Amino acid sequence: MTIQVADLTLTPPVFLAPLAGITDLPFRNLVQSFGAGLVVSEMVASQEMVQAKPGVREKAELGYGIEATSVQIAGRDAYWMGEAARQIEANGARLIDINMGCPAKKVTSASGAGAAGSALMKDLDHALTLIEAVVGAVDLPVTLKTRLGWDDALLNAPELARRAQDAGVKMVTIHGRTRCQFYKGRADWAAIANVSGAVDVPVIANGDIVDSATARAAMAQSGAQGVMIGRGAQGRPWLLAQVAHDLFGAPAPEVSFDKAFCDMVSGHYEAMLNFYGKDLGARVARKHLGWYMDTSNTEPGLRRRILTTKAPQEVIRLLPDALGAFEGVAA
């Protein structure tokens, strides 16, 4: 099964969600090495990107030109959204995604990033000015990621999706929660069906998809053409490929649970050190190492040593023992 987004063919229809502080270039590259129809960069603030404020550079290493990679931008000002889109296109990107789903207070509050992200669902007229600015600025396909609504009294994702489609958006991803739910409760995949019925462009289901069974259920209940996986891939970068194999007959991921698993984790660790530099890379890597050790049931004392040492070579020396208890993978 494939998804057509303008002139791009995305296959398999199992995508990696943007996760702040997680889906950086090293992690996206690792996920893509197993197999994913699309990976999405961490969200980047449009004005900060254009003005190149400090701290944006490492997050904005966005994989320009890499096949099946989307660059996600956020903001509340049409001028900056359009300028960011032009900059992204000029750097060779293949796809641009607009974030209207982030629930973080620093993004949605007027005192933070300017009432962006999912706060835009409270003002669809303004949201459409941003979509139109991005679509009108570039020749690239533009997609949208959002939620069911702001809260239970404002479930306007179908209207937003329909208006976005009319403005030129080529695909819509829906997280099956409202903004006010944040990540609490359960994602309502059935509610996404209202969006699927409102538009002709592909709809992607997102939220609480952590294995093949939940992916299959999400697609059945939502009527979506594909799924987007976020937190479920933490510590399991092969998960998207496994889901694609189980649901769509894509090649099974080649995951070996002995030395090859340790080599994969070590390679990811070294890629982060190279990407960020030794000191920052070692700090950023700790959460990923923690998730890998969760998967491996690592002995607590050894886990603590790995996560507290400041010496990368010590981490690499200890990883074989830390990951030796790994017994298998559950998709």
Instruction: Check residue 182 and give its pLDDT.
Output: 79
Residue 7 has pLDDT above 50, yes or no: yes
Look at domain 3-248 and name its CATH class.
Answer: alpha beta
Q: What are φ and ψ of residue 257, in 5° steps?
A: -105, 35
Q: Are 287 and 22 in contact (CB under 8 A)?
A: yes
Q: Which of 44-53, 163-172, 203-212, 304-313 has the lowest mean pLDDT?
A: 44-53
Nearest-angstrom CA–CA distance, 154 and 174: 15
User: How does DSSP assign 54-103, residue by residue?
Assistant: TTHHHHT---TT-TTEEEEEE-S-HHHHHHHHHHHHHTT-S-EEEEE---
pLDDT-derived band at 330, boundaries 50, 70, 90: very low
Single pTM value for the model = 0.92
Q: What does the pLDDT average to over 98-116?
A: 78
**Residue 254 pLDDT greater than 90, yes or no:** no
Alpha-carbon distance of 2 to 15, in angstroms, equals: 12
Tokens of 259: 């030395």
| pLDDT greater than 50 at residue 60 | no
Question: How confident is residue 331, by pLDDT bands cut at 50, 70 and 90?
Answer: very low
- Annotated catalytic residues are 102
pLDDT in tens, 275-298: 999 999 999 999 999 999 998 889
**C-alpha closest to that of 178 among 206, 148, 218, 145:** 148
pLDDT at residue 329, rounded to an integer: 45
Stretch 196-224: mean pLDDT: 98
Average pLDDT over residues 78-96: 93
Q: Domain spans of the chain?
A: 3-248, 259-322
Q: Which two tokens stand for residue 236?
A: 């399991």
